[in-house]
A and B are shown apart, each in its own frame.
Chain A
């Protein structure tokens, strides 16, 4: 049990990247900080704390979620995927592979959120149009302005997913 001994802390069980974690934290504590501070999963980023930038995006099931606005109590018991849980061992997830190949980042701080949003998009639309990518991803900010490469990376990821399935 992590995070013991805090005032009004409660026990929660989180299912993160396929592993069960027990934490003892305040019910209001944002999932973002439970992931980062209690579970050491710092790939999920704080960008704005107001759900406007997407840097804190994780997947709840297959749905992208702003972890900065989600109290841990609302995420308990549900299947959560963070950036650390996408790859299978050494093998990168197609979206990760596509971002790497197209170098769709500069400082990289938005990258986790971008990759998870794109992953959710491709679950819904395996071959999205450019406009569908823009519409779906518009809540994710890349302040370095790497947007065009990110669009390219999502297209590339769609290709990789298709070829992976076909293989």
Chain B
């Protein structure tokens, strides 16, 4: 029986769905159609969670896609109530978000923020995440938006809920709400000393209120729960093997799927002989156009069956990595790209003659693979025409929409759940495994699990875009930047604009043919653009004979960026000591997505061997919500960034990936990791921003600059040393 409860409605015109869209996100991701939104009825919530207080917000779900672009209908009336927070009669708090946990520790950091503003113990808050039936619509977990946007949203909801609870107590005691305070999940009357717990307050209540959306947030300087580092909420489940990842989900009667992949990219099926597989007991073969899949009672039989299928494919000739960078230049769009991908100020043409020193260089970045340790995986089950899918994705609602469209279902007939997964790094914006598993399950009439093999993940997922970046610059004899030109071919426009003071600039992104399937990657093109810019700054500093950090500071006004450069330099001992013989120092920094980063690196060069021995990185993302979690993210971003900086590259030829295994595609291991020192610049006066991405952008140029410092060899292609340091000649 549904128990009674309270519904609090808040109309919030600045809900997360009005979040600005990243141009690269639009560029690289095909977004499913969004038209109708359904929520579980309020009563169902109480059925699931028990009675109590349910805090809802009226949402504008008016996001449509037109000509590949989103348009926000500003004036559409709210049509749904999103449920964000529930407090039950025992004081158990449940917060709901469509964001997903992939290792960035937001299940903990969001719960901290809820507890902080609700004035309830951290241990009383649990998060329900990434479930298309239970959580409010969310576009996806990307762009370092969870902390600034979802954190703010949940804090608003928690403040509102606390105000409601105080109001409820005030009514019960017939006193003014201003006479009451709330702490530790209790409302207290200071005058009489009486208290009442949140659980007791919501017991048997049933009321609906509209709360003005004007919360007074607790300043970061007064945080008690946010700003600390509680252990990961369900950490014990991870060290005992209890946590169920998407690939671990099991259902009664579960079958196992395997897809027969094309011989090469863009290949068309010519013929297919499935006769051997058909003879295997329990095997179901699914053919639908060029899609060939098998379903079997166990993985070994599924693999055997898929292997036995003889398929003939016809693939068109395709370019190879040897021709990649020429190809990108040659196929650059001649149409003017969007304004947000172009920037100019002053006159570069007129400024050229004023520069005492002018240089131009080209930088390149290879295609690289995200390589999440858990490959794409899904379990799909059909029941009474409805589809339930557990899958690893950063965008469960987009996967729901993709499934609804693919199988001609309404959105409320598709339920997507995202158990905390084995990470993604921008690589799981899509739902391929979900669609494939659902297709197989539909044919089999039984639930089907599909886990992509590592080779499939390396081949049929998408890659971080390769790119070519031309930089031309000039400076006066005393080291003031005069002009700066930056042309990015294909890698992307993120963080393309320079943060240095330059009176004359021309900066442009050029879309090109995309030889491989490409998409988002942790920090997007900020890594490539920072690599080019910060390597080039070093080159120009060398030309004008000014110490690299001094040269940067001379041209940098942004106080927060200056502060992280200084903080990293101080910790590193920059300028205080000379590198040992064969060693070199390099620095680089930047700004993206509200985060400011500066990196100092020390490398040791011996013959062709290059070893990064020490990294100091300062990072400022505003008020820090969870210092230890943040340090974990920063160190992880440095390590992941080292892979792309030093040796990661996808090799391809004529529609084939040549290194689709971990034995051939080198990722950072224990022995590659330098000493890492993280300096957190905790700006309690600034809004908390995301930190999953920006800490990755400084490492590659810092290492390239350190290699130059050590050896005199300037490397301008990422990865820098896949085969060791090249000869100076």
Classify the secondary structure of B's interface with A.
loop
From A5, A41, A48, A148, B241 is in contact (CB under 8 Å) with: A41
| Cβ B241 vs Cβ A103 within 8 A | no
Contacts of A100 in B (CB 8 A): 231, 235-236, 239
Interface 9-residue window, one of B150-158, B259-267, B371-379: B371-379
Q: A25-B300, A109-B373 are in contact. Are A147 and B673 (CB under 8 A)?
A: yes
Q: Which of B628-653 contact A (CB under 8 A)?
A: 628-629, 632-633, 635-640
Is B1's beta carbon under 8 Å from chain A?
no
| Cβ A7 vs Cβ B301 within 8 A | yes
Is B661's beta carbon under 8 Å from chain A?
yes
| Cβ A107 vs Cβ B454 within 8 A | no
Closest A residue to B453 by CB, please name it: A49
| Cβ B422 vs Cβ A52 within 8 A | no
Which of A26, A38, A40, A108 neighbours the largest number of chain B CB atoms within 10 Å of its CB? Answer: A108
| Cβ A44 vs Cβ B241 within 8 A | yes
Closest B residue to A85 by CB, please name it: B241
| Cβ A6 vs Cβ B281 within 8 A | yes
From B102, B105, B239, B281, A111 is in contact (CB under 8 Å) with: B239
Q: A138-B669, A144-B636, A145-B635 are in contact. Are A49 and B454 (CB under 8 A)?
A: yes
Contacts of B290 in A (CB 8 A): none
Closest B residue to A41 by CB, please name it: B241
Is A20's beta carbon under 8 Å from chain B?
no
> CA A28 – CA B300 in complex, angstroms?
8
| Cβ B103 vs Cβ A107 within 8 A | yes
CB-defined interface of B412-453 with A at 8 Å, one 1/0 digit per residue? 000000001111010000000000000000000000000101
From B240, B243, B374, A96 is in contact (CB under 8 Å) with: B240
From B281, B629, B663, A50 is in contact (CB under 8 Å) with: B663
Q: Which of A88-138 contact B (CB under 8 A)?
A: 92, 96-97, 99-101, 103, 105-112, 115, 133-135, 137-138
Closest B residue to A36 by CB, please name it: B248
> CA A115 – CA B240 in complex, angstroms?
9
Contacts of B219 in A (CB 8 A): none
> CA A45 – CA B243 in complex, angstroms?
11
Closest B residue to A133 by CB, please name it: B670
| Cβ B671 vs Cβ A7 within 8 A | no
> CA A74 – CA B562 in complex, angstroms?
60
| Cβ A109 vs Cβ B299 within 8 A | no
| Cβ A106 vs Cβ B298 within 8 A | no
From A26, A142, A143, B300 is in contact (CB under 8 Å) with: A26
Q: Which of A1-55 contact B (CB under 8 A)?
A: 3, 5-7, 25-26, 28-30, 33, 36-38, 40-50, 52-53, 55
> CA A97 – CA B245 in complex, angstroms?
21
> CA A136 – CA B299 in complex, angstroms?
31
Q: For the complex formed, measure the closest distance between the CB of A109 and the CB atoms of chain B, giving whole angstroms.
A: 3
| Cβ A141 vs Cβ B669 within 8 A | yes
Q: A37-B298, A148-B673 are in contact. Are A47 and B374 (CB under 8 A)?
A: yes
Interface size of A by CB at 8 A reads: 66
| Cβ A143 vs Cβ B661 within 8 A | no
Is B667's beta carbon under 8 Å from chain A?
yes
Contacts of B301 in A (CB 8 A): 6-7, 26
| Cβ A107 vs Cβ B422 within 8 A | yes
Q: A6-B282, A41-B241, A137-B670 are in contact. Are A33 and B300 (CB under 8 A)?
A: yes
| Cβ A106 vs Cβ B105 within 8 A | yes
> CA A121 – CA B183 in complex, angstroms?
47
> CA A156 – CA B533 in complex, angstroms?
41
Is A62's beta carbon under 8 Å from chain B?
no
Q: For the complex formed, measure the closest distance between the CB of B228 and the CB atoms of chain A, giving whole angstroms.
A: 13
Is B297's beta carbon under 8 Å from chain A?
yes
> CA A110 – CA B423 in complex, angstroms?
11
Closest A residue to B241 by CB, please name it: A43
| Cβ A141 vs Cβ B667 within 8 A | yes
Contacts of B662 in A (CB 8 A): 47-48, 50, 52-53, 141
Q: For the complex formed, measure the closest distance between the CB of B157 and the CB atoms of chain A, giving whole angstroms.
A: 27
| Cβ A103 vs Cβ B670 within 8 A | no
Q: Which of B355-397 contact A (CB under 8 A)?
A: 371-375
Q: For the complex formed, measure the closest distance between the CB of B370 and the CB atoms of chain A, giving whole angstroms.
A: 8
Is B506's beta carbon under 8 Å from chain A?
no
Is A80's beta carbon under 8 Å from chain B?
no
> CA A55 – CA B238 in complex, angstroms?
13
> CA A41 – CA B242 in complex, angstroms?
9
Q: A7-B280, A33-B299, A55-B373 are in contact. Are A106 and B241 (CB under 8 A)?
A: no
Is B256's beta carbon under 8 Å from chain A?
yes
Is B80's beta carbon under 8 Å from chain A?
no
Q: Which of B162-185 contact A (CB under 8 A)?
A: none
Contacts of B423 in A (CB 8 A): 106-107, 109, 143-144
Is A83's beta carbon under 8 Å from chain B?
yes
Which of A7, A53, A140, A143 neighbours the largest number of chain B CB atoms within 10 Å of its CB? Answer: A143
Contacts of A46 in B (CB 8 A): 247, 375, 451
Contacts of A97 in B (CB 8 A): 239
CB-defined interface of B650-669 with A at 8 Å, one 1/0 digit per residue? 00000000000111000111
Q: For the complex formed, measure the closest distance between the CB of A15 and the CB atoms of chain B, giving whole angstroms.
A: 18
Which of B250, B371, B662 neighbours the largest number of chain A CB atoms within 10 Å of its CB? Answer: B662
> CA A115 – CA B281 in complex, angstroms?
39
> CA A86 – CA B241 in complex, angstroms?
10
Is B149's beta carbon under 8 Å from chain A?
no
CB-defined interface of B536-557 with A at 8 Å, one 1/0 digit per residue? 0000000000000000000000
Q: For the complex formed, measure the closest distance between the CB of B515 and the CB atoms of chain A, giving whole angstroms.
A: 25
| Cβ B670 vs Cβ A53 within 8 A | no
Q: For the complex formed, measure the closest distance between the CB of B527 and the CB atoms of chain A, giving whole angstroms.
A: 14
Q: For the complex formed, measure the closest distance between the CB of A122 and the CB atoms of chain B, giving whole angstroms.
A: 15
Is A76's beta carbon under 8 Å from chain B?
no
From B241, B374, B375, B453, A107 is in contact (CB under 8 Å) with: B374
Q: A100-B236, A137-B670 are in contact. Are A82 and B636 (CB under 8 A)?
A: no
Is B232's beta carbon under 8 Å from chain A?
yes
Contacts of A73 in B (CB 8 A): none
| Cβ B632 vs Cβ A149 within 8 A | yes
| Cβ A52 vs Cβ B104 within 8 A | no
> CA A130 – CA B92 in complex, angstroms?
43
From B245, B280, B661, A52 is in contact (CB under 8 Å) with: B661
Q: A52-B661, A145-B638 are in contact. Are A83 and B241 (CB under 8 A)?
A: yes
> CA A140 – CA B671 in complex, angstroms?
11
| Cβ B373 vs Cβ A84 within 8 A | no
Known: A29-B298, A46-B247, A84-B241. 9 other contacts (CB 8 A): A37-B298, A40-B250, A42-B248, A50-B662, A50-B663, A103-B629, A107-B103, A147-B668, A149-B632
Mark A residues whose CB is within 8 Å of B: 3, 5-7, 25-26, 28-30, 33, 36-38, 40-50, 52-53, 55, 82-84, 86-87, 92, 96-97, 99-101, 103, 105-112, 115, 133-135, 137-151
Identify the 9 closest CB pairs spanning chains A and B, nearest first: A43-B241, A145-B639, A107-B103, A109-B422, A83-B241, A108-B238, A106-B103, A52-B662, A145-B636
- List 26 contacting pairs A-B, 8 Å CB cutoff, sorted by A: A7-B280, A26-B300, A37-B299, A41-B241, A43-B241, A46-B247, A48-B662, A50-B661, A52-B663, A53-B373, A53-B454, A83-B241, A84-B240, A96-B239, A100-B235, A100-B236, A103-B231, A103-B629, A107-B423, A110-B373, A134-B670, A140-B669, A140-B670, A143-B373, A149-B632, A150-B670
